Structure 1
Amino acid sequence: MDDLKLNRHISGQFNAELEHVRNQVMIMGGLVERQLEQSLVAMMESDIELANRIIEGDKKVNAMEVSIDEECTRIIAKRQPAASDLRLIMAILKTIADLERIGDSAERIATIALDKKLDPKSTMLVNVEGMGRQLLKMLHETLDAFARMDVEAAYQVHRKDREIDQSYEALLRQLMTHMMEDPRAIPHVLTVMWAARALERIGDRCQNISEYIIYFVKGKDIRHVDNKTLRQTVARS
């Protein structure tokens, strides 16, 4: 907790509560990361059993969000935190909301395995998996930045969302071409397009979490600022 430059309190219990809730976020993040990784496997191997486990596992992610939210609410009511402590709790509340939505996206990707007419070896799915692997790495880096509250690492995550958007746009062009060439494939292409959109949204969620990290450490809301202002905020001591 000290390395995050949090305030030290007369009440050791307060410190323990803050540390516990932060650890719970990391556990939730690890669960979501595993869900995403497994969803890609289910998609590429047409593993219906694994897909169903992922869909069922989303309930655990949802339950963790509710539990952490309730714990943060109790801390606010009981401790009335100020300054960096309050920023940490606000960052946590926003982070778990985005993690829950990433879990929803993993669930959507897993449902591709339920479409028995989709060939896992098709170029469409191979390219979706490639984009998914990009997102899996981005999510891992996001969680690592959160664990260390590392603003420079958060900034690098923030910048990567542009690469994800470019991959998504390229994939959409390919899918549109495929539909025009073979109208019979439209229902299946739309399923893949839905999954690609879910992946693109994961990039947005990771970018959001990077903004919460910078908000906690720097005390600045950097949503909707240009890249120059963001870089200056991150670099400022």
Structure 2
Amino acid sequence: MILHRKIQKIKKRLLAIGAIVEEQVDLAVKSIVNRDSELAQKVIDGDVAVDLMEVDLEEECLKVLALHQPMAVDLRMIIAILKMNNDLERIGDLAVDATERAIVLVEQEPVDFPFDFSTMSQAVQKMLKQSLDALINLDMELAVQVCASDDAVDAIHAAVYRTVAEELVKKPQHVSQLLTYLSVSRYLERIADHTTNIAEDVIYLVKGNIVRHQDDIY
């Protein structure tokens, strides 16, 4: 069936974008940990490709909607792909925002992370990987797990905010570095939010109903 083949092709293109974005997030984390401005610039330069792919995929989805007028499951798939496409593009943008902070850190006096960056970044990267795996396999249980994991990332970010506020009082000379790290934490937290959106759209594909803002799915 022509429509089915086109939808499968669109899904593969979405997963290709997902793989690039996943790598962008990984490089962003490494650039921050290593204070590596060259690696950060690589992430920034790569964002153009993601933007172009996002636009091309959106146009292809709209063409399929206009020409084939899909129904039921096929319609849900295209709608979900459109939404996930946007979320992946935003995650790519946030990876760029985070790497820009890495460039700032290179120019600043080194200070210790005011929070457990490793735990937070690993949690966010795991969520992103699992959300894409859930999409590949239409695995609702894994998607629900991703959604539940978002609370832990939110809790870490809230703790970062409190820690930075305390450190600003103790070490006002490090205000620039501390605020930079707070920004990094915020970008990671927002990546987790968009990853949760992707997982919720997988649940939408499987169940057929929108689950955003519904705690009972967890």
What TM-score results when the alignment is normalised by the length of structure 1? 0.87
Deviation at 1:61, TM superposition (A): 1.1
* 1:122 equivalenced with 2:112 (yes/no): yes
* 1:23 equivalenced with 2:12 (yes/no): yes
Task: Output aligned runs, 1:104-119, within 5 Å.
Answer: 104-115=93-104, 116-119=107-110
Q: Which residue of 176, 179, 185 maps to 1:187? A: 176
Tell me the residue number matched to 1:87.
76
Letter in 1 for 2:81: I
Tell me the residue number matched to 1:215.
204
Task: Output aligned runs, 1:63-82, within 5 Å.
Answer: 63-82=52-71
Tell me the residue number matched to 2:122.
133
Deviation at 1:139, TM superposition (A): 0.5
Letter in 1 for 2:176: P
Letter in 2 for 1:80: Q
Letter in 1 for 2:210: D
Tell me the residue number matched to 1:7.
none
Deviation at 1:134, TM superposition (A): 1.1
**Residues 146 and 199, structure 2, Cα contact 8 Å, conserved in 1:** yes
* 1:146 equivalenced with 2:144 (yes/no): no
Gaps in structure 2 of 5+ consecutive residues: none
Q: Residues 61-95 of structure 1: CA distance to partner in whole angstroms, max 9, x if unpaired?
A: 11111011000000001100010100000000000
Tell me the residue number matched to 1:173.
162
Q: How many residues align?
A: 216
Deviation at 1:127, TM superposition (A): 2.1
Deviation at 1:118, TM superposition (A): 4.9
Tell me the residue number matched to 1:3.
none
Identity %: 35
| Closer/same/farther in 2, CA of residues 165 and 118 from structure 1, 3 Å limit | farther
**Residues 42 and 50, structure 1, Cα contact 8 Å, conserved in 2:** yes
Letter in 2 for 1:117: Q
* 1:41 equivalenced with 2:41 (yes/no): no
Tell me the residue number matched to 2:144.
155
Deviation at 1:211, TM superposition (A): 1.1
**Cα separation, 2, equivalents of 1:77 and 1:187:** 51
Further displaced range: 17-26 or 189-198 = 189-198
Letter in 2 for 1:96: N
What TM-score results when the alignment is normalised by the length of structure 2? 0.94
Deviation at 1:128, TM superposition (A): 2.5
**Cα separation, 2, equivalents of 1:30 and 1:55:** 16
**Residues 87 and 219, structure 1, Cα contact 8 Å, conserved in 2:** yes
Q: Secondary structure at the match of 1:165?
A: helix
**Residues 65 and 97, structure 1, Cα contact 8 Å, conserved in 2:** yes
Deviation at 1:113, TM superposition (A): 2.1
**Residues 113 and 181, structure 2, Cα contact 8 Å, conserved in 1:** no
Tell me the residue number matched to 1:6.
none
Tell me the residue number matched to 1:4.
none
**Residues 40 and 132, structure 1, Cα contact 8 Å, conserved in 2:** yes
Q: Secondary structure at the match of 2:211?
A: coil
**Residues 128 and 171, structure 1, Cα contact 8 Å, conserved in 2:** no
